[in-house]
Amino acid sequence: MSRITVLDAGGDALPMFQYQGQNYPNYANTESIVNIHKIPIREDDIIICAFPKSGTHWVWEASRMLLAGHLINDAVEKGVGMLEYAPHDDIQGMSSPRLLNTHFNLSRLPLDIVKKRCRIVYLLRNPKDVAVSYYNFILKLPYYNYKGKWENFMKYQVLGKFSYGSWFDFVLDWEEEKRKHPELPILTLHYEDMKENSLRELRKLDKFLGTDRGDGFLFELCEHTSFAGMNTRKTTTSPEDGAFQGTYRKGVVGDWKNWFTPEQNEWFDKYYAERMKDCDLNIRFTLP
């Protein structure tokens, strides 16, 4: 694990950690990252896997309330069960079924996840909104002290130079793993589908988790885990026990249109077409 500084296209610096060719945020828990493959996995573990800024907090929040069977009113965040962030003793101390989450590819995670056929909730969001969300998140994080401009950030983020690398590498790798492991119980959710109809998507999650809470509860859950609901609840700015500042920003589909210039958009679309040419995922960049 080494400390590195990555420069954006305008020369503004982003301090990061690097380990085995992958970059991580400079506030990462290096011990948890290095030892991630050693975490003892349980058969009933549930793991939410998503590229950063895909709505992981949202799905984690909804999942934990489905598992609990009641609405929860605290500011606790998914960091408590994040495999590369939480101290591993804390993860070991969690009671079953554990709700875990990660931004890692399957190949970097403990092998037992496959052997024990853990349930995986795999969440996707269109990479234009991801890039915008990531930029705004990083700007607000005091750990980075980053002052760079969007035009110097976007391409490098898309090309995977910043923390957690490339959305394309992440997604294509997960698609490949899904093909290799048809036996794995994986629920694929899309942020855009959840925004379009959160009740419909929470029904899928409810069924997948086997919680069977019924529509009355799911209606309340939609409201409670809406962007407005979560934004109000998670007011703390202390990263130790609550939301990182900037986690709850806008919570919409298509904000990228306010950021991408026509030239950036053209470049992105060409890059997307090339990288995704063999992938049949339907990624929606806007909603009707």
Of 35, 152, 188, 226, the one binding ligand A3P (CB under 6 A) is: 226
Query: What is the number of residues in the chain?
Result: 288
Of 28, 57, 126, 222, the one binding ligand A3P (CB under 6 A) is: 57
Active site residue 57: no
Query: Considering the rule CB under 6 A, would residue 168 count as an interface residue with ligand A3P?
Result: no
Q: Which one-letter amino acid corresponds to residue 266?
A: E
Query: Considering the rule CB under 6 A, would residue 32 count as an interface residue with ligand A3P?
Result: no
Sheet holding 186-190, edge to edge: 99-102, 46-50, 119-124, 186-190
Give the residue with the Cβ less far from ligand A3P, 32 or 102: 102
Give the residue with the Cβ less far from ligand A3P, 23 or 54: 54
Contacts of 89 (CB under 8 A, 6+ apart): none
Query: Considering the rule CB under 6 A, would residue 55 count as an interface residue with ligand A3P?
Result: yes
Of 192, 247, 260, 264, the one binding ligand A3P (CB under 6 A) is: 247
Using the contact rule CB under 6 A, the part of the chain among 26-34, 214-222, 250-258, 276-284 near ligand A3P is 250-258
| Count, residues near ligand A3P per rule CB under 6 A | 21
In degrees to the nearest 10, what's the CA dihedral of 98, 104, 107, 113?
Answer: 10
Of 100, 225, 264, 272, the one binding ligand A3P (CB under 6 A) is: 225
Query: Considering the rule CB under 6 A, would residue 148 count as an interface residue with ligand A3P?
Result: no
Task: Look at residues 128, 105, 119, 142 and name the one whose alpha carbon lies nearest to residue 53.
Answer: 128
Query: Considering the rule CB under 6 A, would residue 8 count as an interface residue with ligand A3P?
Result: no
Query: H helices of the chain, where?
Result: 30-34, 56-68, 88-92, 112-115, 127-140, 150-158, 167-180, 191-196, 198-209, 214-224, 227-233, 262-275
| DSSP assignments along 81-118, one per residue | GBTTTS-HHHHHTSPSSPEEEESS-GGGS-THHHHTT-
Of 19, 27, 143, 227, the one binding ligand A3P (CB under 6 A) is: 227
Using the contact rule CB under 6 A, the part of the chain among 16-24, 141-149, 220-228, 260-268 near ligand A3P is 220-228
Give the residue with the Cβ less far from ligand A3P, 71 or 111: 71
Tokens of 242: 């609550």
Catalytic residue among 70, 103, 190, 224: 103
Query: Considering the rule CB under 6 A, would residue 56 count as an interface residue with ligand A3P?
Result: yes
